[in-house]
Amino acid sequence: MIPYGTFTFFGILFVLLIPAVIIGFLGKRLTHYTSFLTFVFLLIIFSSSKIQTFYLVGYILWVVILIKGYSVYRKKANHSFVYYSSVFLSILPLIIVKVSPIFESTTILGFLGISYLTFKTTQVIIELRDQSIKGIKTADFLRFLLFFPTISSGPIDRFRRFQQDSQKVLTAIEYREYFQIGVHKIFIGFLYKYIIGYLINTHIVETRFALGHTFVSNLTYMYAYSLYLFFDFAGYSAFAIGVSYLVGIKTPENFNMPFISRNIKDFWNRWHMSLSFWFRDYIYMRIVFLLTKKKIIKNRRNISYIGYTTLFLVMGAWHGLQINYLLYGLYQAILMCSFDWFEQFNKKKKIWKNNKLTHLLAVIITFHFICFGFLIFSGHLVN
């Protein structure tokens, strides 16, 4: 059963959340009941596929051994080879999933949510290496890894932030605020995903006209698909965040009005924020730091461009190794590097003034670049 995908799922969810709400309003700890809910929803989500259940269990055993092993090792030593090997092993199951379709082989270890579990596992290894996490208990790691509202598609939380929330006992007054926010988010999710998103997809995106390949139909598809993608995914994220609040966890926001972005950097600070911030912190910043430290390249701008290009190509490949995803990653890298160059150029030449008119123009221009990127992403141009 797909999370938030059917009204049956919501029916089961709301019934099982009733005890959580009661516990919250009584000012009691929600941790144990949330762990119970996670176990129940794992059974519900994976009940229809024994093979996916088998892969999930195997994956959990794999990453628990990896995390515990590296945690014990890190307390004694800090060799780069062991660290990079651990990072590679944490993403190996996902690599196999992404690469195997190319060779027309059976997808090994494939199950719903493997990408987001991989992000969490790799993040913990990196933070163990940095010693921002000194050590980690298996129960705490599993609670973070398998947190049921976000298991399939995020948003991607950070272990330390999640741990603080899960250990906090909310008062009845505090929980009432969480409850109000959670219910509001869930209603927003229904509005976005099952009303606006559904109408756009049914009456525009999937129509014969929009699926054509004339200039006007491509343009129609581009705008409609971009809006559908936002409302569908933002709706899902609202569900995940809302349910998280109902069990006492402030899962981070994923979208912040991305279509009013004034440039491509601003867009990636607003669109799928938990993912973009993850890539920024754990790929871009690491590459920039490594190249700067090793003095492999002296020009800081070139270092930054290498970081951007690597980041977006990895992001494209994460979606899939199909040509449209790789082209989308390359397109975003070109946009980011080009804007960075223009931004530096404009600081000297002052050709783009900062006023209300230029701000409006910047939003309009950025919107069209964004939509064209989503047209590439959709695969419509290569089908």
pLDDT of residue 48: 80
Which of the residues are catalytic?
A: 319
Q: Which residues contact 31 (CB under 8 A, 6 or more apart)?
A: 143, 166, 167
Mean pLDDT of 213-230: 96
Q: How far apart are CA 166 and CA 35, in angstroms?
A: 10
Task: Indicate the pLDDT class of residue 382, thresholds 50, 70 and 90.
Answer: confident
Mean pLDDT of 201-230: 96
Asked whether the whole model's pTM tops 0.85, one would answer yes
Q: How far apart are CA 3 and CA 307, in angstroms?
A: 34
Lowest-confidence region among 1-15, 41-55, 72-86, 270-284: 41-55
Residues above pLDDT 90, as percent of the chain: 85
- Nearest one of 151, 77, 165 to 121, comparing CA atoms: 151
- Residue 128's alpha-carbon distances to 71, 72, 111, 135, 159, in angstroms, are 7, 10, 26, 7, 11
Task: Indicate the pLDDT class of residue 298, thresholds 50, 70 and 90.
Answer: confident
Is the per-residue pLDDT at 161 higher than 60?
Answer: yes
pLDDT in tens, 63-107: 999 999 999 999 999 999 999 999 999 999 999 988 876 655 555
Contact in structure between 162 and 144 (CB atoms under 8 Å): yes
pLDDT of residue 1: 85
